[in-house]
């Protein structure tokens, strides 16, 4: 097993019954946050999520509970691009450094939004980029930016590549992994973190074979030279090697840090959460607990040496990777002040550890769970969950929470629910071949990539979450009848399904194929990525043409598959040898548990924002976040909705958050009780974390808008528009 603790059981309580009392106690015990000093003449937002601790916090108090209703738009900057934005922009010395949907980098005047410079790498690509990274030694100033598989070093003054860094200003992250780099696919969506003269990076990787190992690597900020590597799939003789099959380090993949990291600068510790190993849903070829997948790693920042780790999911079969960077905070535990690290999860939990020793500050219980019925699978007999705080989302679908939105929707939900495996299933119930099950939270969270905010003055954590159940299961695909079908099964079916149906509204279907998608446009989509779809730069031209041919016959195959028990052979069978797929033996079958009109098949809330006192593990308040405009027009308001991007908490007593996918609102809440104090309608969904800063004595709040391209769930066009607010 990974890190296994023997905690005592705590009394289980319903969070809803604790809110009023806990909030009242907190208000009495904690001083008003406005005790923070007024805004200085200038204050930056120099690091992704605010600072090295990743707490999404600013002590700025010029904008506060009393005057936030007066916020007005100060400036906007339209990138003029489609594709969506997830960027948390940096602000340093009056300059905003940010991304565009096509992974360009821009520098803007922080007072006016005027473009100062733009960097275009010439590398085509679209998709999520969550920030850039800033470094200075007092003389040089550099911006580090991920563009697909490259990490660029730019001069912060003019945006030009620093020729002395790597190869002509960039390093190729496919290299230094111990495998032929031309066959690897990796892209940097979350920015690297700085420790002294190092930039430490992870990367986003495929979710099925072939996939590179998820090594965490540190590079010299001046030269781009590799300084250290931590193997998340251990090499022979390294700690954790026995939790994988022999030789896994040569062919297993992922266990990668895609969500980002934080650094305890004073102690020299980097905290890196990791994702699941490939494939996501079946582990017959990776028997064992699979360290260091699904783990929170504490590494010596100067060397990459492992100090401690905690594995939250042994042998993951649910795609329950850690979705966001952890956050550093200080809490009162056992009557003492303890420097801690908190990690939110897709499953709706918060783990809290002593950041030096790795000891849990709330008990963690290892419980038994059922074994898999899938041939070849070997599930872990136990899994760990914290006993406090209680989950911030519901855990599993039961018949009593099925939707009552309309009588028809309820009847559909009951009928569908009764066809599922074991009803709805709960945490750590293994996927099955014979039936689907409803997972709540689903693979989109619970907690998501925006991560939580923490007020360091009182240890209160604010986290937004999704409560939209997903259907999951496994299918045994036929042996591919063509090279195109083989590549499709390996690289595309994990999301779009074996029949190309996708998982609407989250993932678009490919049947029927959009007639506007010419061969050239499909090539661009595959190589550049779009929205949540990462670029697949490792797919060669011959394989790509085979996939395109296969996509053109996929509609006919999907229809045949729907009417027969066995799909017909592919039309381009002469291109393949008909052998078994090189990817996972079993493929996932998944989608949202939505009613026929596309709304979640359970009762609201479908998205929430919670405040948790991390000193006690008790909830202070919890509210729905977001709504569907068309349902609100019919009187069904305050339902909550899908939300991506995180909150910002300030010394002015505010929690500022956009994040909602449908209503395009940017909101401010009272941090004490969750009361909404202000809202503004954005030009596009603000699926990103806000930044705040002061220039010339005036405080601004800045949000990236644009949504996430590639999914019908976000409704309407995507783009990239930055909106800054200030008081008149």
Average pLDDT of 224-246?
A: 98
Q: Is 596 left (phi over 0), alpha (psi -120 to 50) or beta?
A: alpha
CA distance 235 to 310: 19
Average pLDDT of 584-589?
A: 77
Q: In what order do the strands lie in the sheet with 698-705?
A: 72-78, 721-726, 698-705, 691-695
In a domain, 294, yes or no: no
Looking at per-residue pLDDT, the higher value among 22 and 514 belongs to 514
Looking at per-residue pLDDT, the higher value among 36 and 187 belongs to 187
Average pLDDT of the chain is: 87
> For residues 149 and 124, is the Cβ–Cβ distance under 8 A?
no
- Work out the pLDDT band at 15, boundaries 50, 70, 90: very low
In a domain, 322, yes or no: no
Question: How high is the pLDDT of residue 587?
Answer: 81
Cα dihedral across residues 326, 329, 331, 336: positive or negative: positive
Residue 3: both structure tokens together: 């890190």
Tell me the three state secondary structure of residue 704: strand
Question: How high is the pLDDT of residue 184?
Answer: 92
Q: In what order do the strands lie in the sheet with 607-613?
A: 453-455, 460-466, 607-613, 618-624
| Helices assigned H by DSSP within 252-365 | none
Residue 177's CB is within 10 A of a number of other CB atoms, namely: 18
Average pLDDT of 395-417?
A: 96
Looking at per-residue pLDDT, the higher value among 639 and 208 belongs to 639
Residues whose CB falls within 8 Å of the CB of residue 653, separated by 6 or more in sequence, listed in order: 32, 33, 34, 61, 64, 65, 670, 671, 672
When mean pLDDT is compared across 210-214, 366-370, 527-531, the lowest value belongs to 527-531
CA distance 330 to 708: 34
CA distance 128 to 1: 34
The dihedrals phi and psi of 575, each to the nearest 5 degrees, come to: -85, -15
Question: How high is the pLDDT of residue 710?
Answer: 42
In a domain, 546, yes or no: yes
Q: What H or E segment, with its residue span, contains residue 723? A: strand 721-726
Q: Is residue 1 scored above 60 in pLDDT?
A: no
Q: Is residue 622 scored above 60 in pLDDT?
A: yes
Of 204-213, 254-263, 496-505, the range with the highest mean pLDDT is 254-263
Burial 67-102 (b: 16+ CB within 10 A, else e): ebeebeebbebebebebbbbbbbbbbebbbbbbbbb
Q: What's CA 60's distance to the chain center, in Å?
A: 27
Burial of 418 (0-12, 13-18, 19+ CB in 10 A): exposed
Q: Is residue 494 scored above 70 in pLDDT?
A: no
- Work out the pLDDT band at 176, boundaries 50, 70, 90: very high
Average pLDDT of 667-672?
A: 98
Cα dihedral across residues 308, 313, 316, 321: positive or negative: negative
Q: Is residue 136 scored above 60 in pLDDT?
A: yes
Residue 24's CB is within 10 A of a number of other CB atoms, namely: 12
Looking at per-residue pLDDT, the higher value among 485 and 79 belongs to 79
In a domain, 507, yes or no: yes
Length of the chain: 728
Question: How high is the pLDDT of residue 519?
Answer: 77
Looking at per-residue pLDDT, the higher value among 34 and 276 belongs to 276
**What CATH number should be reported for the domain holding residue 484?**
1.10.760.10
Looking at per-residue pLDDT, the higher value among 359 and 491 belongs to 359
Cα dihedral across residues 297, 395, 441, 207: positive or negative: positive
Give 713's DSSP letter.
Answer: G
Using the structure block, give the residue that is written with the tokens 């603000």: 686
Q: Is residue 657 scored above 50 in pLDDT?
A: yes
Question: How high is the pLDDT of residue 40?
Answer: 61
Tell me the three state secondary structure of residue 401: helix
Question: How high is the pLDDT of residue 569?
Answer: 28
Using the structure block, give the residue that is written with the tokens 């709504």: 627
In a domain, 349, yes or no: no
In a domain, 484, yes or no: yes
Percent of the chain residues topping a pLDDT of 70: 84
Dump pLDDT digits (tens) for 261-298.
Answer: 999 999 999 999 999 999 999 999 999 999 999 999 99
> For residues 389 and 365, is the Cβ–Cβ distance under 8 A?
no
Residues whose CB falls within 8 Å of the CB of residue 400, separated by 6 or more in sequence, listed in order: none
Q: Whole-angstrom distance between the N-terminal and C-terminal Cα of the chain?
A: 58
In a domain, 532, yes or no: yes
Q: Is residue 502 scored above 90 in pLDDT?
A: no
Question: How high is the pLDDT of residue 570?
Answer: 29
Q: Is residue 503 scored above 70 in pLDDT?
A: no
The model's pTM: 0.87
Assign 3-class secondary structure to 9-78: CCCCCCHHHHHHHHHHHHHHHCCCHHHCCCCCCCECECECCECCCCCCEECCCCCCCCCHHHCEEEEEEE
Burial of 12 (0-12, 13-18, 19+ CB in 10 A): exposed
Question: How high is the pLDDT of residue 584?
Answer: 64
Looking at per-residue pLDDT, the higher value among 15 and 304 belongs to 304
Domain span at 504: 477-584
Average pLDDT of 692-708?
A: 94
Tell me the three state secondary structure of residue 344: strand
Q: Is residue 14 scored above 50 in pLDDT?
A: no
Question: How high is the pLDDT of residue 433?
Answer: 93
Looking at per-residue pLDDT, the higher value among 175 and 516 belongs to 175
CA distance 109 to 97: 9
Give 449's DSSP letter.
Answer: T
- Work out the pLDDT band at 2, boundaries 50, 70, 90: very low
CA distance 128 to 531: 6
Residue 105's CB is within 10 A of a number of other CB atoms, namely: 24
Q: Is residue 208 scored above 70 in pLDDT?
A: yes
Residue 181's CB is within 10 A of a number of other CB atoms, namely: 16
Q: Is residue 19 scored above 50 in pLDDT?
A: no
Is the bond leading into 512 cis (omega within 30 degrees of zero)? yes
Dump pLDDT digits (tens) for 424-471.
Answer: 556 899 999 999 999 999 888 999 999 999 999 999 999 999 999 999
- Work out the pLDDT band at 530, boundaries 50, 70, 90: low
Average pLDDT of 131-149?
A: 97
Percent of the chain residues topping a pLDDT of 90: 73
Average pLDDT of 577-585?
A: 42
When mean pLDDT is compared across 225-229, 316-320, 387-391, 496-500, the lowest value belongs to 496-500
CA distance 18 to 35: 27
Q: In what order do the strands lie in the sheet with 90-92?
A: 90-92, 95-99, 105-109, 115-119
In a domain, 498, yes or no: yes
Question: How high is the pLDDT of residue 34?
Answer: 34
Average pLDDT of 87-104?
A: 97
Q: What's CA 68's distance to the chain center, in Å?
A: 29
Residue 222: both structure tokens together: 């001046």
Question: How high is the pLDDT of residue 169?
Answer: 98
Question: How high is the pLDDT of residue 307?
Answer: 98
Q: How many domains does the chain fold into? A: 1
Question: How high is the pLDDT of residue 11?
Answer: 32
CA distance 700 to 726: 5
Q: What is the dihedral of CA 462, 649, 102, 517, to 10 degrees?
A: 40
Cα dihedral across residues 241, 247, 250, 254: positive or negative: negative
Residue 705: both structure tokens together: 């808008």
Q: Which residues pair with 107 in a beta bridge?
A: 97, 117
């Amino acid at each position: 097993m990974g890190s296994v603790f023997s905690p005592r059981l705590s009394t289980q309580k319903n969070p809803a019954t604790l809110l009023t009392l806990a909030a009242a106690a907190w208000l009495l015990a904690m001083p008003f946050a406005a005790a923070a000093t007024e805004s200085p003449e200038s204050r930056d937002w120099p690091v992704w999520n605010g600072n090295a601790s990743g707490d999404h916090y600013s002590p700025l108090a010029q904008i506060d509970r009393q005057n936030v209703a007066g916020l007005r738009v100060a400036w906007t900057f339209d990138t003029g691009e489609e594709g969506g934005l997830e960027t948390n922009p940096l602000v340093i010395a009056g300059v905003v450094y940010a991304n565009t949907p096509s992974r360009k980098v821009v520098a803007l005047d922080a007072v006016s939004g005027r473009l100062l410079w733009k960097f275009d790498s010439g590398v085509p690509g679209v998709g999520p980029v969550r920030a850039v990274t800033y470094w200075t030694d007092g003389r040089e100033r550099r911006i580090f930016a991920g563009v697909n598989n490259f990490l660029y070093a730019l001069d912060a003054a003019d945006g030009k590549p620093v020729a002395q860094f790597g190869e002509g200003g960039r390093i190729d992250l496919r290299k230094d992994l111990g495998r032929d780099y031309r066959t690897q696919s990796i892209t940097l969506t979350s920015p690297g973190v700085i420790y002294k003269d190092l930039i430490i990076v992870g990367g986003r990787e495929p979710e099925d074979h072939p996939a590179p190992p998820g090594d965490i690597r540190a590079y010299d900020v001046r030269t781009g030279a590799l300084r250290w590597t931590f193997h998340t799939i251990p090499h022979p003789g390294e700690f954790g090697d026995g939790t994988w099959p022999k030789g896994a380090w040569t062919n297993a993949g992922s266990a990668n840090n895609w969500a980002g990291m934080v650094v305890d600068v004073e102690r020299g510790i980097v905290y890196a959460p990791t994702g699941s190993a490939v494939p996501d849903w079946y582990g017959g070829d990776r028997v064992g607990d699979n360290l260091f997948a699904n783990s929170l790693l504490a590494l010596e920042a100067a060397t990459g040496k492992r100090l401690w780790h905690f594995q939250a999911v042994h042998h993951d079969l649910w795609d329950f990777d850690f979705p966001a960077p952890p956050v550093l905070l200080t809490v009162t535990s056992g009557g003492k002040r303890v420097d801690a690290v908190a990690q939110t999860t897709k499953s709706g939990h918060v783990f809290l550890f002593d950041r030096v020793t790795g000891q849990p500050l709330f008990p963690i219980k290892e419980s038994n769970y059922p074994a898999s019925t899938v041939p070849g699978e070997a599930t872990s007999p136990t899994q760990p969950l914290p006993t406090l705080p209680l989950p911030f989302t519901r855990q599993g679908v039961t018949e009593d929470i099925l939707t009552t939105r309309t009588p028809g929707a309820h009847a559909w939900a009951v009928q569908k629910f009764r066809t599922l495996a074991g009803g709805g299933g709960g945490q750590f119930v293994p996927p099955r071949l014979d039936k689907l099950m409803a997972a709540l939270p689903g693979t989109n969270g619970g907690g998501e990539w925006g991560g939580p905010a923490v007020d360091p003055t009182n240890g209160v954590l604010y986290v937004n979450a999704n409560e939209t159940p997903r259907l999951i299961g496994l299918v045994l695909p036929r042996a591919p009848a063509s090279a195109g079908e083989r590549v499709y099964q390996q690289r595309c079916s994990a999301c779009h399904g074996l029949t190309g149906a996708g998982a609407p509204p989250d993932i678009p279907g490919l049947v029927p194929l959009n007639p506007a998608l010419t061969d050239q446009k499909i090539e661009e989509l595959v190589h550049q990525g779009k929205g949540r779809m990462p670029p697949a730069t490792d797919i060669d031209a011959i394989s790509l043409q085979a996939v395109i041919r296969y996509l053109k016959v996929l509609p006919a195959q999907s229809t045949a598959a729907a009417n027969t028990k066995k799909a017909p052979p592919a039309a381009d069978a002469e291109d393949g040898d008909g052998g078994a797929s090189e990817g996972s033996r079993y493929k996932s079958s998944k989608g949202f548990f939505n009613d026929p009109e596309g709304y979640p098949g359970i009762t609201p809330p479908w998205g929430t924002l919670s405040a948790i006192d991390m000193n006690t593990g008790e909830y202070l308040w919890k509210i729905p976040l977001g709504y569907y405009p068309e349902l609100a027009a019919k009187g069904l308001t305050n339902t909550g909705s899908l939300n991506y991007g995180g909150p910002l908490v300030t010394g002015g007593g505010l929690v500022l958050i956009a994040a909602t996918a449908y209503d395009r609102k940017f909101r401010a809440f009272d941090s004490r009780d969750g009361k909404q104090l202000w809202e503004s309608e954005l030009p596009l969904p603000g699926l990103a974390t806000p930044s705040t800063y002061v220039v010339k004595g005036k405080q601004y709040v800045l949000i990236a808008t644009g949504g996430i391209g590639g999914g019908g769930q976000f409704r309407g066009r995507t783009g990239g528009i930055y909106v800054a607010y200030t008081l008149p």
